[in-house]
Homo-oligomer: A and B are copies of this chain.
Amino acid sequence: MTEVEVKKSQDSLQDRLAQVIDLLQRQRVVEDLTHRQEGQHNSLVESLVHRQNLVELQRKLDDLHPADIAYILEALPLDDRLTVWQLVRSDRDGDILLEVSDAVRQTLIADMDDHELLAAAKEMDADELADLAPELPRDVVHELMETLDAQQRERVRSALSYDEDQVGALMDFEMVTIREDVSLEVVLRYLRRLKELPGHTDKLFVVDSDGMLKGVLPIKRLLVNDPDKQVAEVMATDPVSFHPDDDAYDAAQAFERYDLVSAPVVDKSDRLIGRLTIDEMVDLIREESESEVLNMAGLREEEDIFASVWRSLRNRWAWLAINLITAFLASRVIGLFEGSIEKLVALAALMPIVAGIGGNSGNQTITMIVRAMALDQVSPGNTSRLMRKELAVSLINGLVWGGVIGVVAYLLYGSWSLGLVMTGAMTLNLLLAALMGVLIPMTLVRLGRDPAMGASVMITAVTDSGGFFIFLGLATIFLM
């Protein structure tokens, strides 16, 4: 898409959002008035005010960067969001659709007719079209593909053939390619003829006549070297490159590690087919850590904060239902010991402490491990060492805090043996929490799942049922 000049603004983004909300509210007041006084004679004045408000809002929106409009759309509830969306100049629709989150994009697309969608999509590059295509109505996609030339169509098809977590789905095709047997002077003249360079062009790609990647020419080297030198003398051979079926997250880590701005994507025979840029990688890093947070809490996907209640319910039900089952199992564990509880009702009051501390400690361990796995720091070679460390931490925590709460139990109920059972149960449950905090994410990875998936729900299930069983079991053995 065309590049947008980013201008400095005196207002922060939050201020600008507040201004938009303010205009929307004034708007609504006017609408209410107009509505109430319908049929009366002063509605002409009202409708003038109405119009003036909208014009002011529209002017404000025209000044904003598409990314800022996207932010404002995301922060508005549905009705206000659509009011703003209709005021946005239609030639900016495409840019904005590419910036908003998936959840918000769906609400915007639902509000557009086929004609508007086609117009918005027409200005997009192949890789941007491929991003959007899965969410567009089928016949719109069909019509779009027909307007493309053969090369573009092929690129969209290719991008769509990869999973969204593969490099092939994220690469773009805006590469500047040069030959190695020309002088830098020739390259400089060639660039001048192009009139515009693609965004994030920090290097040019050096290819041979078959399109094979021979190296890259960093713009920095182009600028500081003698123009009479040949490209081959100055270029970097053997640069970091990616394959379209590489894992996109690995690529993002490489960008982060090697401070890359762009990198070539080549096929199996080393033919240049596209490039990755840092902006896509930053988005990916952000999304990845977001999905980790959401997964740990048992949420399926990012939720537009103004999503309908129904959408929210669907997002949250899967893990709530699983939690219901695990809570029921924990309840049945307690049911096994109803006899003991009837004899010593203090057990009912103390048992949630054992389960609760186990849950907290287990969550700390599992968070640590999931983090380390995301950073590729856990390997089969160090698993047993990690496990020993977590068990040692738990043992100490169990003895120390279990000891404290054991003394408290003695003070409350006047029984030393009850205090000792408490300390023992805490220690054992914390050891169980450490063991499962390491094993659960590792098992999930071995099963090919995301290690963060519902981690919190699962570890809590184990420490609840386990805690109740250990505490009530020990109590039944030693106190009954």
Which A positions have Cβ atoms within 8 angstroms of B? 5-8, 12-14, 17-18, 21, 65, 67-68, 71, 74-77, 188, 191-192, 194-197, 199-202, 219-220, 223-226, 236, 238-241, 250, 255-261, 278-279, 281-283, 285-286, 289-290, 292-294, 296-299, 302-303, 305-307, 309, 312-313, 316-317, 319-321, 323-324, 326-328, 330-332, 334-335, 338, 341-342, 345-353, 355-357, 359-361, 363-364, 367-372, 375-379, 381-382, 385-386, 389, 392-393, 396-397, 401, 404-405, 408, 412, 456-457, 460, 464, 468
Contacts and interface: CB of A to CB of B under 8 A. Distances in A.
Contacts of A364: 297-299, 316, 319-320
A367 B294 contact: yes
A74 B330 contact: no
B328 A405 contact: yes
A1 to B, nearest CB: 11
Given A239-B8, A293-B289, A17 B379 contact: yes
A348 B357 contact: no
A286 B289 contact: yes
A261 B278 contact: yes
A247 to B, nearest CB: 10
B338 A345 contact: yes
A219 B204 CA distance: 13
B349 A352 contact: no
Contacts of A393: 309, 312-313, 316
B7 A372 contact: no
A279 B375 CA distance: 17
A353 B192 CA distance: 70
A117 B298 CA distance: 46
Contacts of A226: 192
A344 to B, nearest CB: 10
Nearest to A241: B8
Given A194-B224, A324-B353, 13 more contacts: A6-B239, A7-B238, A197-B223, A200-B202, A278-B282, A293-B371, A299-B364, A303-B368, A306-B386, A306-B389, A320-B357, A352-B464, A360-B457
